Structure 1
């Protein structure tokens, strides 16, 4: 069975579900049905979200499970949150971006741990 797609592959417009069919008795129901917010996530975003939930929101566990860094986990999480329509405080987002940039620079060896600590305070 295929996952419901939410965007038109031709023009990119929003698709509506208008027909449901029972796999057992072939009953068909036609109407305009709504998709959940999760139906608008890409396969990768949905997999990340499932992993995040399975790890009970523990970012360290998500890092290990997916083999990605803390800043990458945060960026993916922020992307999913935004796509689901839950945008946080813009000031907080800006501060978080600065912190993530410091952590990324540390991870890539561009700054020392001492510099990172100083910048994060």
Structure 2
């Protein structure tokens, strides 16, 4: 069974660094300091979102259909992926309002906790 490479230290949550690679075939070992892909820091859910986003060539409308979710939910998930990859996003006032409303809708549906809702709203 293969596992994903952990990206964060389970103790202090700092970023982990790969220091050794091994070949199963010839048993060669390479030691050093190797960077991992930013995509490796995404959750399984975020990776699936990115795969679908690529499949539909970035069409938000197609994302809505494919995932059966609303436009603000697609935008919110996209923003979470962008943030997880280390990029910052500036929102227009209208986008901020839509994202906040979607967060409140998720809270009302019981999809997220009040703490998570507050955290997300403060990030907008």
Shorter-chain TM-score: what band? Answer: 0.7 to 0.9
1:71 to 1:35, Cα distance in 2 relative to 1, 3 A: same
SS in 2 for 1:18: strand
Gap runs ≥5 in structure 1: 109-121
TM-score normalised according to structure 2 size: 0.71
Shift of 1:26: 1.6
Alignment of 1:1-121 (within 5 A): 1-89=2-90, 92-101=91-100
Report the number of matched residues: 104
SS in 2 for 1:46: helix
Instruction: Report the structure number with the largest CA radius of gyration.
Output: 1
TM-score normalised according to structure 1 size: 0.73
SS in 1 for 2:33: strand
Gap runs ≥5 in structure 2: 109-124
CA RMSD of aligned residues (A): 2.4
Q: Distance in 1 between matches of 2:36 and 2:65?
A: 32
